[in-house]
């Protein structure tokens, strides 16, 4: 009897039950050592089928991890953002495995999941081309059919480093030697082993629908001084339908690529002799930019901003005082020696605006003061990062600095938010707001109270305007909390950068920026940084893609083109042109000795919003036959009626109906 009791007690120890709390609050009792996969199977076959990983006490883990103690558990399925990311990361491993099978002497870099896909970097003795992607895809399909498990292994760092060194994986050795932990993890998949934190899908058969997209060069760790690797990009989705929809969007995005449209529409170019990342604006592109700038200037004057102009170079002393050289020198260009004094091309406009403010004693009665400048700045970007207008080395910021008292912050930020919504709205852009708070590494000269006061002022402004926002913890600048506005275009793509409003806690102290208060004493001035368009170059690139090159009439470099069918109609066409130009319409006459169908095709290719065809009948009736981008062939319209119509569209800045 005693032996039986002892045996029962031993079994209780070995088969100890643990409590697993599920997202709905229910609790499952399982034996210690049970896995998330077993829990998913107990809950339901559908959940088990779609499961790719699990979250245990807020930590993502593999489905086969033994659960040894009470915990909170949620199952991650492939149709969730987290599940897709895990599956895509696993797809990167499978791609690396396929490349390793197909090519000799591969050295593996890194292979993360990214937005909508994944990539992996390879050091190969031979070049991979786009033609090779199908072969790699086929090998990936074979690996998927093997349902090879993703098996985790942990090794001491020294042993892990030696393993990678023996395998000739020098890039992995470099990564391991920078890891502070004493133990690192690897994943084995179909004969391929990779340094990785995980988690991963249970086996390769759980891969969704995937496609390899392109090959590009990439410097190891993004440094031009390092070896250039070959990067293969791919995408993966839970279902084939989702993949095909994504490919359709990619094809549409390719048609809208601003670099392609920039060439086709003769808007801008780059030239190696001028320098990489420096934009040459052609007449047609310059017109679009000028229209945007004119709109911006008029709106800012109306809103109480004062225009300023500041130099493109400045003494290095001002950037040492501002802290830009100690903090950002790697993005600044080397000094110019002028009269034995070091100068820099400006990376930003703030110090010059401060110097204008400090040319006089400012009273609280003078504030707020708002300075605005379309100021061109120059920042170093690695050549591999340059991307058309979206990433350049010389760009024009729609910069403004507001000098105000602490009590004016909320009202001034509200004003900027209102201005932001007005400007983005005129381009038909949707957007969302983020309150970006103090980062982990931040300006130490500002007190906790100052950080809190600035952050709360931004929050109050958002809430006073009843604007929905998300808090992006720790995403503020090192010197300022900020509001980030993220626009997204007609394809639903978020822009890389958008409007920003920052409460600067750095420069007022460094430059001793003060005003005289009601008490007759000097007080530290508040400086608000703000940009709405941001970089005009980037903004232009993004709206070219947003509109697919079909600018709304008010923005179009050529708003109407008159197409006479024969030379007999040229005098009438010229008279119609004078009438349009007299109302400020940007128009032309296509008087080439070509057929009207050729002229229509040419005007359509150049994305002219209105083509006005005139033949003998139109001359007789005093009309033009209107062909518009939005409505196609509209038939005859009296010249005066068309002039009234197009001028109204320009005046109201009408947008295409599809937006």
Helix H or strand E segment including 78: none
Count of C-beta atoms within a 10 Å radius of residue 33: 13
Helix (H) or strand (E) holding 317: helix 316-322
DSSP secondary structure string for all residues of 287-315 = HHHHHHHHHHHHHHHHTT-EE----SEEE
DSSP state of 204: G
Determine how β-strand 610-614 pairs with β-strand 560-564.
Answer: parallel
Rounded to the nearest 10°, the torsion over CA 596, 597, 598, 603 is 90
**519: exposed, middle or buried (Cβ count in 10 Å: 0-12, 13-18, 19+):** exposed
Q: Determine contact, residues 609/628, Cβ cutoff 8 Å.
A: yes
Burial class of residue 319, CB neighbours in 10 A (0-12, 13-18, 19+): buried
| Exposure string over 543-572, b if 16+ CB within 10 A, otherwise e | bbbbbbbbbbbbbbbbbbbbbbbeeebeeb
> C-alpha distances in angstroms, 115 versus 84, 171, 484?
10, 24, 20
Residue 101 φ then ψ, to 5°: -75, -35
Catalytic positions, written as ranges: 350, 379, 397, 399, 401, 482, 529
User: Taking a C-beta distance cutoff of 8 angstroms, is the pair 460, 420 a contact?
Assistant: no
User: Residue 53 CB: number of other CB atoms within 10 A?
Assistant: 30
């Amino acid at each position: 009897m005693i032996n039986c009791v002892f045996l029962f007690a031993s079994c209780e120890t070995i088969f100890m039950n643990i409590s697993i709390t599920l997202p709905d609050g229910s609790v499952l009792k399982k034996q210690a050592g049970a896995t998330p996969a077993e829990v998913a199977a107990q809950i339901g076959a559908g959940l088990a089928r779609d499961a790719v990983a699990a979250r245990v006490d807020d930590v993502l883990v593999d489905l086969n991890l033994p659960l040894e103690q009470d915990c909170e558990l949620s199952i991650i399925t492939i149709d969730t953002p987290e599940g897709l990311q895990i599956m895509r990361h696993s797809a990167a491993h499978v791609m690396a495995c396929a490349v390793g099978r197909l090519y000799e002497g591969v050295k593996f870099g890194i292979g993360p999941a990214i937005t909508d896909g994944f990539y992996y970097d390879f050091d190969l003795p031979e070049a991979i081309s786009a033609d090779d992607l199908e072969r790699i895809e086929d090998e990936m399909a074979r690996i998927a059919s093997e349902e090879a498990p993703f098996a985790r292994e942990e090794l001491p760092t020294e042993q892990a480093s030696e393993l990678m060194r023996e395998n000739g994986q020098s890039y992995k050795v470099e990564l391991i030697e920078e890891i502070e932990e004493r133990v690192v993890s690897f994943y084995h998949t179909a004969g391929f082993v990779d340094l990785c934190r995980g988690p991963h899908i249970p086996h390769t058969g759980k891969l969704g629908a995937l496609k390899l997209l392109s090959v590009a060069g990439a410097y190891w760790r993004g440094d031009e001084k390092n070896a250039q690797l070959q990067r293969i990009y791919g995408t993966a989705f839970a279902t084939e339908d989702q993949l095909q929809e994504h490919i359709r969007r990619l094809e549409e995005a390719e048609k809208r690529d601003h670099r392609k449209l920039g060439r086709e529409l003769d808007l801008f170019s780059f030239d190696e002799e001028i320098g990489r990342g420096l934009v040459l604006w052609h007449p047609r592109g310059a017109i679009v930019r000028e229209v945007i700038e004119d709109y911006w200037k008029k709106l800012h004057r109306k809103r109480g901003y004062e225009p300023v102009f500041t130099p493109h170079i400045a003494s290095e002393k001002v950037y040492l005082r501002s802290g830009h050289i100690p903090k950002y020198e790697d993005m600044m260009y080397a000094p110019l020696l002028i009269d034995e004094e070091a100068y820099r091309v400006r990376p930003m406009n703030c110090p010059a605006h401060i110097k204008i403010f400090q040319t006089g004693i400012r009273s609280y009665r003078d504030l707020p003061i708002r300075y605005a400048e379309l100021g061109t700045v120059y920042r170093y970007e690695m050549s591999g990062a340059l991307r058309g207008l979206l990433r350049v080395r010389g760009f024009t910021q729609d910069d403004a600095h507001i000098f105000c008292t602490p009590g004016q912050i909320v009202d001034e930020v509200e004003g900027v938010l209102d201005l932001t919504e007005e400007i983005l709205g005129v381009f038909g852009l949707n957007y969302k707001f983020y309150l970006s708070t103090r980062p982990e590494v931040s300006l130490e000269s500002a007190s906790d109270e100052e950080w809190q006061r600035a952050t709360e002022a931004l929050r109050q402004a958002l809430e006073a305007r009843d604007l929905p926002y998300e808090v992006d913890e720790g995403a503020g600048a090192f010197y300022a909390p900020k509001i980030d506005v993220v626009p997204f275009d007609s394809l639903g793509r978020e822009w890389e950068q958008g409007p920003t409003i920052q409460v600067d806690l750095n420069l007022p102290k460094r430059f001793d920026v003060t005003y005289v208060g009601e008490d007759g004493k000097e007080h530290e001035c508040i400086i608000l940084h703000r940009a709405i368009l941001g970089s005009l170059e980037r903004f232009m690139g993004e709206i070219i893609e947003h509109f697919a090159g079909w600018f709304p009439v008010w923005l179009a470099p050529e708003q109407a083109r008159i197409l006479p069918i024969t030379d007999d109609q040229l005098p009438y066409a010229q008279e119609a042109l004078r009438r349009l130009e007299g109302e400020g319409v940007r128009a032309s006459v296509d008087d080439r000795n070509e057929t009207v169908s050729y002229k229509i095709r040419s005007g359509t290719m150049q994305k002219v919003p209105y083509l006005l065809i005139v033949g003998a009948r139109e001359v007789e009736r005093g009309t033009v036959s209107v062909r518009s981008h939005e409505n196609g062939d509209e038939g005859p319209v009296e010249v005066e009626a068309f002039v009234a119509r197009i001028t109204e569209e320009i005046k109201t800045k009408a947008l295409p109906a599809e937006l």
